Structure 1
Amino acid sequence: MISSETIEGYLARLAARQPAPGGGAAGALHAAQGAALVAMVARYTTGAKYADHAEDVERTIAGADASVPAAVRLADDDEEAFAAGIKAYGLPADSEGAKSVRARAVQEALARAAEPPRALIDLAGHIIALGRELADFGNANVISDVAAASEAARAAIATAMITLEINIKAIKDPGLQEALRADVLRAEEAVASADDLSGRVRKRVLA
Structure 2
Amino acid sequence: MDESSTFRDLTVAQFVQRLASGEPVPGGGAAAAIAGSLGAALVTMVANLSLGRSKYAAHAGLNARVSADAEALADRFLALADEDATAYAGYGAAMKLPRETEAEKAVRAAAIREAAHAATMAPMRTVEACLEVVRLAESLAGRSNANASSDLEVSSLMAVAACRSAAANVYINLPSLGDESRARDLFERTEELADEVERLADRTREVVRGGEAREPLLEARS
| Residue-by-residue CA offset, 1:34-78 (whole Å, 9 max, x unaligned) | 111011111111222221111111111111111111000000000
How many positions carry a matched residue from both structures? 205
Query: For the residues of structure 1 that align with 2:29 and 2:39, how far apart are their CA atoms?
Result: 16
| Residue-by-residue CA offset, 1:57-110 (whole Å, 9 max, x unaligned) | 111111111111100000000000000010000001111110110011011000
Conservation of the 8 A alpha-carbon contact between 2:116 and 2:174:
no
Instruction: For residue 153 of structure 1, give the secondary structure of its aligned residue in structure 2.
Output: helix
TM-score by length of 2: 0.88
- The CA RMSD measured in Å over matched residues stands at 1.4
- CA deviation after TM superposition for structure 1 residue 118, in Å: 1.1
Consecutive unaligned residues of structure 2, counting only runs of 5 or more, are: 1-5, 213-222
Tell me the equivalent position of 2:28. Answer: 23
Tell me the equivalent position of 2:92. Answer: 86
The answer as to 2:211 corresponding to 1:200 is no
Correspondent of 1:62 among 47, 62, 68: 68
Tell me the equivalent position of 1:162. Answer: 168
Q: Choose 20-29 or 165-174, whichever is displaced more.
A: 165-174
| Residue-by-residue CA offset, 1:128-178 (whole Å, 9 max, x unaligned) | 111112111211111110000000000111011111111123321134213
Conservation of the 8 A alpha-carbon contact between 2:123 and 2:167:
yes
Instruction: For residue 142 of structure 1, give the secondary structure of its aligned residue in structure 2.
Output: helix
The answer as to 2:142 corresponding to 1:136 is yes
Correspondent of 2:195 among 188, 192, 197: 188
Query: For the residues of structure 1 that align with 2:102 and 2:200, how far apart are their CA atoms?
Result: 49
Q: Choose 172-181 or 4-13, whichever is displaced more.
A: 172-181
- 1:53 maps to a residue whose letter is H
Consecutive unaligned residues of structure 1, counting only runs of 5 or more, are: none
Query: For the residues of structure 2 that align with 1:116 and 1:93, how far apart are their CA atoms?
Result: 27
4+ residue runs over 3 A deviation: none
